[in-house]
Every structure is written in structure tokens, then in C-alpha cells.
Structure 1
Amino acid sequence: MLQGILLLLQNVDWSEPWIIGLLVFHSLSTGAVFLLYKTQAFNIQVALFGVLMVLACLTETVNEYGATHWKLFARHQYFDTNGFFITWMYAAPIVVNCLLIIIMCSMGKWTNRSGRQMRLVECRYKDGWYLQTERGKQG
């Protein structure tokens, strides 16, 4: 499989405008994933996740369209019946971005919850709650 991916990367005409556009799209969507994580815009992250998942679900349809109409936008026929090209050049980066969103959203929630819990414990410790409960256990 690794040889197939390397062969694919060697045989792609990287100067084709639609491939450059595809790479720009993947770069922008990955940048958006990280930017939205930094700004903690959860609703927009969810919307981006939904759009990316719809695009991933359309992979087979995009491959069929590309196989039928490739002469309109490409110099070479990249779209095979197995979908190898479309999987690695179109769907895989989209799925990776979706996984990044899931990981980053869960990390954000986990770190926010653990941070709140640590502040709560710190406040209770400062108020003497910890000492009072320890004395109650001894007595």
C-alpha cells in the first residue's frame, strides 16, 4: 500500500490547477481546524465538522463524476473504479481534519473540566475545607 501511495504521489501532475485548488482547500480547512481550536469557537467547529463529513460522504460521487468528466478539468485520468486516487488525495485529508476536530474538542472539554475542578479544590483548600474534613475523620 505504501508503494501505491508513493507511486501515486510520483505520477500526479502537481501543476494542474484543480490539484492545486484541492491542496489549497485542504490547507485552508486544516488551518481553520487549528484556528477554531485556538479561539474555542465550539459551534463553528461543529459546523466545520459537519461540512467536512458531508464532503467525505460524497467521495464516491465525486469519484464517479471525475471518472465521467475528467477531460473538462484535468489533463490525466486519475479517477479509477477502486477510488485509490480520490481516497488519498481527497477523502483522507478530510477525515484527518475530522479526527483532529474530535480530538481537539474532547481535549478542550477535558482540560476545561479538569481546570475548573482544580480551581474548586484550590478554593476549598484555601477556605480550610480540607482541614475541617481531615479533623472530622480523626475525631
Structure 2
Amino acid sequence: MEELRSAAEAHMDQVADLVQKLSAELRTGLRPAFDNFIGFFHAIDWKEPWLMGLMAFHFVLLVVAISSRKNLNFQMYLFLLALAGVYFAENLNRVLGSNWKRFATQNYFDSHGIFLSALWSGPLLFIAIIILVSQQMSSCSPFSFSFFSTLLSG
């Protein structure tokens, strides 16, 4: 019985320690994360032509995804294209990291791929989510229900 009591007390001490650490982190707030984001944002030279081209590419892709929301086949190709871009991001990071002097003023491509994840994969995943939500909403429209009920009945 004494072993059970000491094990329970040890467990309670661990839980109390975890709660204390969590409350200390919550008291610091989001300020450290915000400061890291601002540092990341200011470290990038946004006037580089290739970065402006990348942002334009993502903007055009977003406009195409929104404007083609009624075309299911095209949306699926666009969805797969966006996910393929995310899938090949590691290889792209490796290639760009070894050739950065040809197009950039500084090496943004670290071995962890943080920069490419934030500026390549992040927007592609956002566009893929928009396509997915758009297709889910269109499948829940009254027309699609009547279409499926017609298929099922006969």
C-alpha cells in the first residue's frame, strides 16, 4: 500500500511540474513567436525578382483555383499539381540550395527547408485546402443530392 501511495505522489509531482511549466509558457504569451516571425520576415529581401515571381505564381494559381471551382476535372488536376509541388519540395530545396548563387543574393535554402516550406509548400497547401473545401461545398449543393438520388434510384 505504501508503494502505491508513493507512486501516486510521484505521479502528482510530475503533473504539478508539467502544469507549472505550461503556465509559465502561457504567461510569456505569443510574443516570442511573433518576434521570430518578424525576424524571418525582415531577413528576406522581398525585392528579389525570383521571390516576386514566386508570389505572382501563387497569386495566379489561387485566382485560377477560385475561378475554376465549377470545373471538377480541372480542379482535381490543380489539386494534384499543388500536392505534387509539396511532395517534391525537399528535392527542390536541395537543387535550389546548390544553385542559389545563380538567382538569389543570399542562400535561403537551409538543410531543414524552413524557407521553402514557408514560401512554397505553405501557399500550395493553402490553395489545395481551398480546392478541397470548394469541392466539398459543391458536393453538398441541392443539385448534387438530386443527381446522386437519380443515380441511386435508377
Give TM-score, length-normalised by structure 2: 0.70
Closer, same or farther: CA 114–41 of 1 in aligned 2, 3 Å: closer
Distance 1:36 1:114 in 2: 18
Please list every run of at least 4 consecutive aligned residues from structure 1 whose deviation after the TM superposition is greater than 4 angstroms.
none
Change in CA separation of 1:111 and 1:51 when aligned onto 2, cut-off 3 Å: same
Equivalent residue of 2:55, what SS? helix
Counterpart residue number, 1:103:
133
SS of the aligned residue for 1:79 comes to coil
Matched with 1:27 is: 59
**Mapped pair 1:88 → 2:88:** no
Q: Does residue 1:49 correspond to 2:79, yes or no? A: yes
Paired letter, 1:21: G
Where in structure 2 are there 5+ consecutive unaligned residues?
Answer: 1-32, 148-154
- The secondary structure found in structure 2 opposite 1:13 is coil
Matched, 1:36 2:71: no
1:12: which partner in 2? 44
Distance in 1 (CA, whole Å) between partners of 2:124 and 2:53 is 14
Structure 2: how far apart are the matches of 1:95 and 1:4? 22
Q: TM-score, normalised by structure 1?
A: 0.77
Aligned counterparts of 1:77 and 1:11: Cα–Cα separation in 2 = 11
